[in-house]
Every structure is written in structure tokens, then in C-alpha cells.
Amino acid sequence: MYQDRILRRELIDKIVTADQAAALIKDQMVVGSSGFTKAGDSKAVLPALASRAQAKPLHITLLTGASLGHNTDAALTTSHVLSRRMPFQVDPVLRKSINAGEVMFIDHHLYETVEQLQNKHLPPVDIAVIEVTKIEEDGSLVPTTSVGNSAHFAALAQQVIVEVNLSMPLGLSGLHDIFLTGGYPERSIIPITSPSSRIGRTSIPVDPEKIVAIVITNIPDSPATVVPPDVKTTAIAEYLLDFFKNEVKQGRLKKSLLPLQAGIGKVANAVMSGFLKSDYENLTMYSEVLQDSTFELIDAGKMTYASASSITVSEEWYHRIMDNLNLYRDKVVLRPQNISNAPEVIRRMGVIGINTAIEFDIYGNVNSTHLSGTHMMNGIGGSGDFARNAFLSIFVTQAASKENAISHVVPMASHVDHTEHDVDILVTDQGLADLRGLAPRERAKVIIANCVHPDYRDELKSYYERACQRGGHTPHVLEEAFSWHSRLATTGSMKKSLTELSY
């Protein structure tokens, strides 16, 4: 079964069980694993490590591409394996430990992890765990459904454990474009000029001597949970599609727009699906993750090319894609995440970035990560890589949630991930605020008029007006700036109680 997947014959001797491989990971090691938004993660070695730690405790620093599937982060957390974790996660169990201060989580711009490793600003990677489709004759590794940080982990680690996943079709070979940025001062140009540019090789180079173990697996990726569009996400998508229509009409964009990036979260998928019913053509994507909507657009002939670091789709689409890879061979490429998210390339191509906010404030500062300014949700992911460098930086969120007890438009963002400089367009189910070329006081008026839920509009307006009386370029009533968040903590709602209102 695996003979056609390990073309460097002598490596066949390295095949071991997952437990044997996991035993190579020692206490206090720094481990770099494949896995990006659930795709292409370690299916055997990290889970085996979690089991082993239940009997014999150990602690590691775990670096990945982004989030892992199969509840692996939960298992590792429950077994107390993680002392440090970076650069991203989406796991409820791990999240709880992070917020309790038990796991030290380092939240990176996804572009940055490899930079910091190369620059020796992080401790060196002891061991890499990489899922592959196959090992080539020269020992190089063909990734599976994601590239993430695998290429650099393999290059930088002392030892490499390989998981050969038999469930991954051999047809994945050829889909990847592996380009390694060198260290300083001899760093080269990243010569990508369009989403379809191929600048590297199709497999990850690795010194075969470093491969210390090979584990055979046969488990597919965890599927993405795709939430069907609802009233709110549909409203947001419609505002955004109208906006694009007008940009084309005004001559600021062509019908092919510019390369699109869509973040994770339920809104982004709804927006992308909205393009299906539009008259755009020759769309392209330069993003982190290819989702269901990408393949819908390709199948519909609306999208000609999509570049990202992973394929993370629903169970239905997973099988459709894996069984028909030939259909997508010339339309899709998977890259290392420090290429998919490279500021250089995002700027050069003028990517349109659409990301989801947890909340934003009247001046357009965006919180993507911290509930009420303190509790980590997932992490900044690639949102900053794209928002800062985009041709247009768009953030979307529902205006209010939890039966409107929470307003996602607040007086002051309780945590800032993206400053007003990096935010052009804000959209909620209430409407769209076009902030281009506006000063803070003008931004506030447009945001209050268009984005806030009606239940909160008057109070937000009152806040802004009282702030203006104190003056300033960006007026605030500092002692009231987080009063909505404090109220949520004490009363369960950001709304003023009736007693307060009577004042």
C-alpha cells in the first residue's frame, strides 16, 4: 500500500508505530507540526503523544501552521502536554486553558512564525511532524491538503517525523508550490506577480538523514463546519456585493475585481457564495484557506485561479475535490503560509481582504481576537497580514448578537488588532460604512449611521457627542469607553437597564 508513496526505498526501514514515533518527542522539546485550519494535520503522532502523556507527563512547545483538526489540541491540553502553543488555535478546551493562564499562547500574524524562527527570535525547532502524500526519490516531501509552515519546519528542525497518509490521493502531488525564503541578509525577492505564479518546486526539500521515523495513517482531515447563510450573513453579503457593483461602476475596479482573500467565520463564506449569482468574471483568489465557496466559484466558471495555504472544506466538498483533483489541477495552488500571507505579494497584487471582526468601534478600530478585551477567542491569524496590505481592507460582523445583548459596534474596541489606518470598509447586517479618505470624526458619523444595531444607536450617538465636547482628534470619554463591556459582565447585557435609562 505505502510502497508507491515512499519512493526513497531506504526510508521504508524507518516505518514505526505512532507510539514509537511519539516517543522520540522528549520533555521540553519544541515541536513544529503540519496542519493549517484543520487541513493536513498530524493524525497519529500528536494524538499518540497526548495518550502517552497521560501515563508519563511531558511538556512541549507546539508550533503549527494554524489550527489542528480531530480535537488534537483538546487532547494535548487535557493531557497537559502544551506549555507553549503558537501561532493560532480554534479549540474550546485549549482556549479555556489559555484564558486561565495555563498554556502560554503566542498569537502571531501567520506570516511571522517562520520569520521569527529563521531570525532566531524563537527557540529552535527540535523535531518536525509532517503529514505527506508521498516521499519522493530524493527524500523530499509532498504535502497533503495544506502547506502551512511545514517547509520551514522541515528545513529548520533537527529531526523530522513523517506521517504518510494513505487516504490522501496521489493526485495531490503537483498542487503545491514550495518556495523557501532565505535568511538575512541574503533574502531574495518573492517573484509572484499573480495568484497563478509558480515560483518553486512541488515538494518540500529535506535531508533524508533527518527523517527519524515514518508513520502510516489512513485518516481524512476533519471537515469544516459550514454554517448555511442566515438573515444576517445574507444581509452583510448583499451590502458588500452592492458595494463592489458600485466600485466597478465608478471605474475603481474591473469586473474581475482583484485577487480576493476571505477569512474564516460564517460571513466570509456567505459573501463568496454571493459572487455566484453575480456577473463578475475571471475572479481570482489569493488567500489563506480555500473553502467550499472557492470550488463552487471555480465550478461555475466564475473563478479562474485560487492560491492559498490549505483546502478546508465541508465533508461533501472534501470527497468531491479529492475524487476529482484533475478538474482543479490548473486552477489551484497551495503555498507555504509565509508566501500566501506575504506582505510583499499581497501589496503587489492589490488583494481585496475580507475578514471577520469580533467588534469594532466608532473610529473603525477592530478587535479580532479578545472577547471583552481579555479572553482569547482564536487568534489574529492572517487577518493582519491581509488587512494591512490590502488594496481594500474590509471587516464584517453582525451588528448585535445573543438576542442583542451584545453590540458588536462599541464606543471603544476593548482590544485592538487592526487600527483605523488598516480598515477601509465595515459591514454589519445593518449596513456598510465606507471610511476611505475620512478623518476620525467623520468615520464615527458614518459608522453610527450605518453599522450599529438600532437598540444601541442612540446611546452610541450620545457617547460620541459627549466625547466631542471634550475635544480631540479622536474624541472619547475615557472613563465610559468600556462601560458597555463592564455592563455585559455585570448584567449580562450591554444595554442600559431601565433604571439607568431614566436618568
Residue 317 to residue 333: CA distance in whole angstroms: 17
Helix 231-249 and helix 266-274, axial crossing angle in degrees, nearest 10: 50
DSSP state of 123: P
x/- contact string, 243-282, with a copy of itself (CB under 8 A)?
A: -------xxx-x---x------------------------
Q: Which stretch binds a copy of itself (CB under 8 A): 198-206, 232-240, 415-423, 458-466?
A: 415-423
* Phi-psi category of residue 498: left, alpha or beta, with phi > 0 → left and psi -120 to 50 → alpha: alpha
Per-residue CA distances from 368 to 318, 357, 373, 443, 458 (Å):
28, 5, 10, 19, 25
C-alpha cell at 468: 466631542
421 binds ligand COA (CB under 6 A): no
> Cα(287)–Cα(264) distance, rounded to whole angstroms?
11
Asked if the peptide bond before residue 454 counts as cis, ω within 30 degrees of 0, the response is no
Binding piece for ligand COA, criterion CB under 6 A, among 70-78, 185-193, 377-385, 463-471: 377-385
The answer to whether residue 169 forms part of the interface with a copy of itself (CB under 8 A) is no
CB nearer to a copy of itself: pick between 229 and 384? 384
Q: What is the size of the binding site for a copy of itself (CB under 8 A)?
A: 81
- For residue 288, state whether it binds ligand COA (rule: CB under 6 A): yes
In the set 288, 359, 420, 459, the catalytic residue is: 288
Spatial distance between the Cα atoms of 288 and 46, rounded to a whole number of angstroms: 24
| DSSP calls for 269-289 | HHHHHHGGGS---SEEEE-SE
Q: Is 263 marked as binding a ligand?
A: yes
- Establish if 426 lies at the interface with ligand COA (CB under 6 A): no
Binding residue for ligand COA, selected from 139, 265, 364, 475, defined by CB under 6 A: 265
Q: Would you count residue 270 as binding ligand COA (CB under 6 A)?
A: no
**Among a copy of itself, ligand COA, none, what does residue 433 contact (CB within 5–8 Å per kind)?**
none
- Which residue's CB is nearer to a copy of itself, number 48 or number 63? 63
List of E strands, 60-118: 60-63, 82-86, 104-105
Residue type, position 58, single letter: L
- Is 382 annotated in a binding site? The answer is yes
Q: Does 294 participate in binding ligand COA (rule CB under 6 A)?
A: no
Among 423, 482, 494, 495, binds a copy of itself (CB under 8 A): 482
Say whether 209 is catalytic.
no
Q: Residue 359's binding partner, choosing from ligand COA, a copy of itself, none, with beta-carbon cut-off 5 to 8 A by kind?
A: ligand COA
Applying CB under 8 A, among 26, 402, 421, 466 the residue interacting with a copy of itself is 421
Per-residue x/- mask for ligand COA, residues 127 to 156, rule CB under 6 A? ------------------------------
Is 106 known as a binding-site position? no
Q: Which one, of 32, 36, 115, lies nearest residue 334 by Cα?
A: 36
Stretch that binds ligand COA, among 12-20, 236-244, 292-300, 380-388 (CB under 6 A): 380-388
**Contact status, residue 251 vs residue 264, Cβ threshold 8 Å:** no
